[in-house]
Structure 1
Amino acid sequence: MQASALQPSIHVLRRHANGFVEFEFSPGDPDLYLEMVLPAGAFEEFCNRHDAALLDATEQARRLAGRCKWHTAGL
């Protein structure tokens, strides 16, 4: 799913065997995100409470490429 610039979004980094979900949460600005870890049930509740779009692999790759470009600018 592609999130609008103002819609909160979730990028799942890893689902751990112990039931925890490691993810990045963007409150609406794709350049601003928090790395978080929650138990699976709390993760689902968090996504619902914030009406966050779960990003698909294509959108995740596009955002990561943008970050890499920003980090290496001017080098």
Structure 2
Amino acid sequence: MAGETSAPQPLFDVDDLQARYVRFHRLTERGFVEFAFGVGSPELMTELILPLDAYRDFCRVNRVVHLTREQEEAMDIDQAKWRYGIPGVTE
């Protein structure tokens, strides 16, 4: 019916036990959350933008794992290695 809102739905079947990861980037001055989302592994993520309330619902219904600062820093170092190379590292 017109005017009705539906409850947020998970992206994957509730029986799918793969971890879902979120890396928060920032909250814009207009109230949008910029973040990255990945399934199964935090190494491959997609960038998303949602209003704050929708972001909270998204995280709740998808039972996401928020990356820690340490995990984010380790990912940044690994990505820099692949993008720019590190002297002495060949693999």
Bucket of the pairwise TM-score, normalised by the shorter protein: 0.7 to 0.9
* Matching residue of 2:25: 13
Q: SS state of the match for residue 32, structure 1?
A: coil
Q: SS state of the match for residue 40, structure 2?
A: coil
Question: Unpaired segments of 5 or more residues in structure 2?
Answer: 1-17
Letter in 1 for 2:75: R
Q: Which has the higher helix share?
A: 1
**CA-to-partner distance for each residue in 1:10-55, whole Å, 9 max, x for gaps?**
1111111111000000112222111000000100111112111111
Relative contact order higher in (CA < 8 Å, ≥ 6 apart): 1
Which among 27, 30, 33 is matched to residue 39 of structure 2? 27
Query: Aligned partners of 1:64 and 1:8: how far apart in 2?
Result: 19
TM-score by length of 2: 0.67
Query: Aligned partners of 2:41 and 2:71: how far apart in 1?
Result: 14
Computing the radius of gyration from Cα coordinates, the structure with the larger value is 2
Counting matched residue pairs gives 69
Question: Unpaired segments of 5 or more residues in structure 1?
Answer: 1-5
Q: SS state of the match for residue 33, structure 2?
A: strand
Identical counterparts, % of pairs? 28
TM-superposed CA distance for 1:72, in Å, is 2.7
Q: SS state of the match for residue 43, structure 2?
A: coil
Letter in 1 for 2:61: R
